[in-house]
Amino acid sequence: MSQTPLIVGNWKMHKTIQETEEFCLGLKKEIDGIRSGQVEVAVAPPFTALAAAARLLKNSSISVSAQDVFWAESGAYTGEVSPKMLRDVGCRYAIIGHSERRQFFHETDDSVNKKAAALITEKLIPIFCLGETLAERREGITFTVVERQTRQGLKGLAITDPQDLVIAYEPVWAIGTGQTATPQQAQEIPAFIRKLLQEHFSPEMSRGLRILYGGSVKPENIAELMAMDDVDGALVGGASLNVKSFSAIVRGAGPKEK
């Protein structure tokens, strides 16, 4: 089965509107040569720059993702943004459950689950992040943690097309540390997640769902990560902030045969 790899740049709290515009114009030029269908690309600017990115990337092969969302449709939720608003501004994806949100903003498996359901209802694609901390890995509970995050995050979710959901495995100890997981580590957990997906959905869905790896992905290590059977793309932080390094990662992630 052939799978189009997905490379997503998570900018976190970086870039003004002007910087976003410069980046988007530069990225379009850089990856123009990549045939559509070979690699799918998305960028996730901060909320304030989503409109600018969506405007500049309209009619291009590059999609726009939000970095978070709230699950309610509308209402008295000061500071929050709904799936409908993300759709309105031109997003295709929204990242949910990122470890930084879990760590600093009290994101829980339950809130991730609500966000996933709300996004799917609005026909937006969740990029559902999960992964163990260094303490959890040292304690030997990586599989338990990943299983809990997967099961609780996906609870009750009904999707019929594997394109409707993306999972991102990001071991917390590999995020922003320069310490990338070894290709074997980056394969072991996604393979385990895929088994859980098989139980939760179906074998066909599980095969078709894309599982990204995230954590210190760079132009130098993308090829060996993508060579792993169960890695279908990457969620890139630091190296996605620069057009040259992000497009080198995109180029390094060729199409996959499964």
Q: Which residues are catalytic?
A: 98, 170
Q: Which is nearer to ligand 13P, 225 or 239 (CB)?
A: 239
According to the binding rule CB under 6 A, does residue 238 interact with ligand 13P?
yes
Q: If binding is defined by CB under 6 A, does position 235 make contact with ligand 13P?
A: yes
Quote the least distance from Cβ 113 to ligand 13P, whole Å.
Answer: 19
Which residue of this chain has its Cβ atom nearest to ligand 13P in the complex?
237
Rounded to the nearest 10 degrees, how much is the dihedral formed by the CA atoms of 59, 215, 240, 228?
-50
Q: At its nearest, how many Å lie between ligand 13P and the CB of residue 175?
A: 4
Q: How far is CA 144 from CA 67, 132, 154, 168, 193, in A?
A: 26, 9, 15, 17, 11
Tell me whether residue 37 or residue 176 sits nearer to ligand 13P (CB atom): 176
Nearer to ligand 13P, 83 or 97 (CB): 97
Residues 95 and 67 sit within 8 Å (Cβ to Cβ):
yes
- CB nearer ligand 13P, residue 20 or residue 216: 216
Closer to ligand 13P by CB, 71 or 128: give it.
Answer: 128
Report the C-alpha gap between 133 and 142 in whole angstroms.
8
User: What does the alpha-carbon distance between residue 257 and residue 194 come to, in Å, rounded to a whole number?
Assistant: 17
Q: Is 65 in the site for ligand 13P (CB under 6 A)?
A: no
164-223: contacts with ligand 13P (CB under 6 A) = 170, 175-176, 214-217
> Closest separation between CB of residue 239 and ligand 13P, Å?
6
Q: Site residues for ligand 13P, window 8-27 (CB under 6 A)?
A: 10
83-102 footprint of ligand 13P as x/- string (CB under 6 A): ---------------x----
Distance CA 50, CA 20 (A): 9
Minimum distance of ligand 13P from residue 92's CB (angstroms): 17
List, as own/partner pairs, every contact residues 178-183 make where C-beta atoms lie below 8 angstroms and the sequence separation is at least 24, other chains included. 178/216, 179/215, 179/216, 180/215, 180/216, 180/217, 180/218, 180/221, 180/225, 181/213, 181/215, 183/224, 183/225, 183/227, 183/228
What minimum distance in Å lies between the beta carbon of 228 and ligand 13P? 17
**Residues forming the site for ligand 13P (CB under 6 A):** 10, 98, 170, 175-176, 214-217, 235-239
